[in-house]
Chain A
Amino acid sequence: MKSGKFWAWVVFALGAAYFFIPLIATVEFSMRMRRGAYSFDAYQIVLGDPRFQATFGYSVLAAIFTIILGVLIVVPAAYWIRLRLPQLRPIVEFITLLPLVIPAIVIVFGYIRMYGSNSPLPFLATDMGTNALLVIGYAMLALPYMYRAVDTGLRTIDVRTLTEAAQILGAGWGTIIGRVILPNVLIAVLSGAFLTFAIVIGEFTMASLLNRPAFGPYLQNVGANRAYEPAALAIIAFAITWGCMSLIQILSRFAPRSANRPN
């Protein structure tokens, strides 16, 4: 087994090299802007760019709406399927996997053709409609992750007993979902939310094809026209992804594990 351990270290070292060299290179490159000395000039320029602030703000807002839409659609469906319609589970699981099968570019192509200004549902006729369509598209991209997160959360609580207890106390469905079920799966929902945020914040394809002033197209535009700023932006994007994933990890420590009672 001695040699096994040696090879494990070799594999790990090679992997670490492949993954860290680009990060180090990007950090190094992003600091080369001032001739002859390392500096944070590229970061200053990027963070001070009004277009950075505008597009980043737009994408954050889009991400928040995406998360809200995703929760509104996924939580009642996942809850109801657990409670009343378990026979629908395979169909719903299949549908939630479809966004992984159908490439994003194909989905948005379909939107452009189906919801154009001359169609019965002219989403693309107005700016607000296009924004809505972008959020819908993002919710679709995040659907597989959101559904899985919420369903995992629901598995750890006793949906049936909680629902019956709430009903005995006179709660309506809105109260049950909003004030009983949702708080119980909040950690799972938040994990799904942060993953959604990480996916949406730098998304390029949909935003670009719908002509929205989002962060992804801005990144692409800077990449095509500047030298050092893209590297700084890559580091910022990596930090955001890292932040989202860390929050998910931290949250998972608070998630209930033992209350697993099959319905």
Chain B
Amino acid sequence: MTDLSLSNQAIAGKTAPPSEARALRLPTQWLGVAPFFIFAIMFLILPTLYLMLGAFQNDAGEFTFENIAALAQPSIVAAYWISLKVSLASALIGAFAGLAIAIAIVRGGLPEWIRSATLTFSGVASNFAGVPLAFAFLATLGRLGLATVLLNTVFGLNIYAHGFNILSFWGLTLTYVYFQIPLMVVIITPAIDGLKKEWGEAAATLGATQAQYWRMVVIPVIWPSFLGTVILLFANAFGAIATAYALTGSSLNIVPILLYAQIRGDVLHNAHLGYAIAFGMIVITGLANVFYIWFRTRSERWLK
């Protein structure tokens, strides 16, 4: 159907005045991208707007701030708080560990195969999330997990007697780190590759010590992409539910699990409060992404 456009345009361009030719062309121009936009509007933008508007309506459909205000009840605030803590902690640990690994494989003078093996493995591990990841950590650090048992029998350290529990803040954080570190490695390695050798040589020529070179050249150049990636990791963890749900059931009340329970059975007894929780999640991940894009544009200046 769109094959009218080119032949028509060629003829129309010659015979009709430009304005008319444009009028003929415009609709067919859009046909190529129409499915994409219809799809995005129907199944991404409208459903999200529907929830966002619903967050500001009561059952009668009138405008209200009550639902947003109701987010302040202790159980919901606690859910947001623990979600923020887990996301932030796993993002920071994942980011620093991932950065260390990326620097080690790029600049540490390790054999080339280690670099490619690490990057391949990172690609796999960053996609190994969800329910199976929870199983793996239960088999490792659960009460009968290999690491738990070995620590107890070999080192005499019973981590559960010392207050550790896989179904807790630290248990969940440690599990999330499993996909956070590889994601950091995958994203930050090109940035470290982008550090030009000449900068090190220039710094050395000017008499800089190794420490000065790192403090005054490397860190300022990497900083924006590092921060940007931390934020990406944060948003990544904040929206995740499957791992936490399979790991802890509903014993650890993070926001996505609360929302999940609300969708399944209206546990809050107020449909519009569910919308408000979803709205809160969008605001948090949305803000995170605004910062991410901001840092990203700053980092691209150096890493061409």
Q: Name B's A-contacting residues (CB within 8 A).
A: 2-3, 6, 29, 32-33, 35-36, 39-40, 43-48, 50-51, 54, 97, 100-101, 103-105, 107-110, 114, 118, 120-121, 123-125, 127-128, 130-140, 144-147, 177-178, 181-182, 235, 238-242, 245-246, 249, 256, 259-260, 263-264, 274, 278, 281-282, 285-286, 289
Q: Which residue of B128, B133, B249, B256 is within 8 Å of A105 (Cβ)?
A: B256
Residues of B within 8 A of A8 (CB): 103-105, 107-110
Question: Can you list 7 A-B pairs with a CB-CB distance of less than 8 A?
Answer: A8-B104, A29-B146, A101-B282, A104-B241, A109-B259, A220-B246, A237-B131
Residues of A within 8 A of B127 (CB): 195, 198-199, 241, 244-245
Q: Which residue of A21, A73, A173, A199 is within 8 Å of B36 (Cβ)?
A: A73
Minimum CB–CB distance for B126 against chain A, Å: 9
Q: Contact check, A28 vs B44: say whether CB atoms are below 8 A apart.
A: no
Q: Contact check, B130 vs A216: say whether CB atoms are below 8 A apart.
A: yes
The verdict on A39 contacting chain B, using a C-beta distance below 8 Å, is: no
Which residue of B is nearest A202, CB measured?
Answer: B130
Minimum CB–CB distance for B162 against chain A, Å: 19
| Bound CA–CA A76/B32 (angstroms) | 6
| Bound CA–CA A208/B132 (angstroms) | 15
Residues of A within 8 A of B103 (CB): 8, 11
Minimum CB–CB distance for A229 against chain B, Å: 9
Minimum CB–CB distance for A240 against chain B, Å: 9
The verdict on A192 contacting chain B, using a C-beta distance below 8 Å, is: no
Q: Contact check, A220 vs B245: say whether CB atoms are below 8 A apart.
A: yes
Main secondary structure of the interface of B (DSSP, over half): helix
Q: Contact check, A12 vs B281: say whether CB atoms are below 8 A apart.
A: no
Minimum CB–CB distance for A57 against chain B, Å: 18
Minimum CB–CB distance for A143 against chain B, Å: 8
Q: Which residue of B32, B104, B124, B146 is within 8 Å of A11 (Cβ)?
A: B104
Question: Quick one: given A29-B145, A92-B36, A216-B242, are A114 and B139 in contact (CB under 8 Å)?
Answer: no
Residues of B within 8 A of A216 (CB): 130-131, 242
How many A residues touch B, CB cutoff 8 Å?
A: 86
Q: Contact check, B47 vs A113: say whether CB atoms are below 8 A apart.
A: yes
Select the stretch in A47-55, A78-86, A153-161 that faces chain B: A78-86
* Beta-carbon contacts under 8 Å, A133-152 to B: 136-137, 139-140
The verdict on A213 contacting chain B, using a C-beta distance below 8 Å, is: no
Q: Contact check, B50 vs A234: say whether CB atoms are below 8 A apart.
A: no
Q: Contact check, A25 vs B125: say whether CB atoms are below 8 A apart.
A: no
Residues of A within 8 A of B40 (CB): 95, 98
Minimum CB–CB distance for B129 against chain A, Å: 9
Residues of A within 8 A of B109 (CB): 1, 4-5, 8
Minimum CB–CB distance for A98 against chain B, Å: 6
| Bound CA–CA A204/B235 (angstroms) | 18
* Beta-carbon contacts under 8 Å, A1-53 to B: 1, 4-5, 7-9, 11-12, 15, 18-19, 21-26, 28-30
Q: Contact check, B181 vs A15: say whether CB atoms are below 8 A apart.
A: yes
Which residue of A is nearest B115, CB measured?
Answer: A12
Q: Contact check, A103 vs B238: say whether CB atoms are below 8 A apart.
A: yes
Q: Which residue of B33, B39, B51 is within 8 Å of A113 (Cβ)?
A: B51
Residues of B within 8 A of A109 (CB): 47, 51, 259, 263, 274, 278
Q: Contact check, B35 vs A230: say whether CB atoms are below 8 A apart.
A: no
Which residue of B is nearest A229, CB measured?
Answer: B135
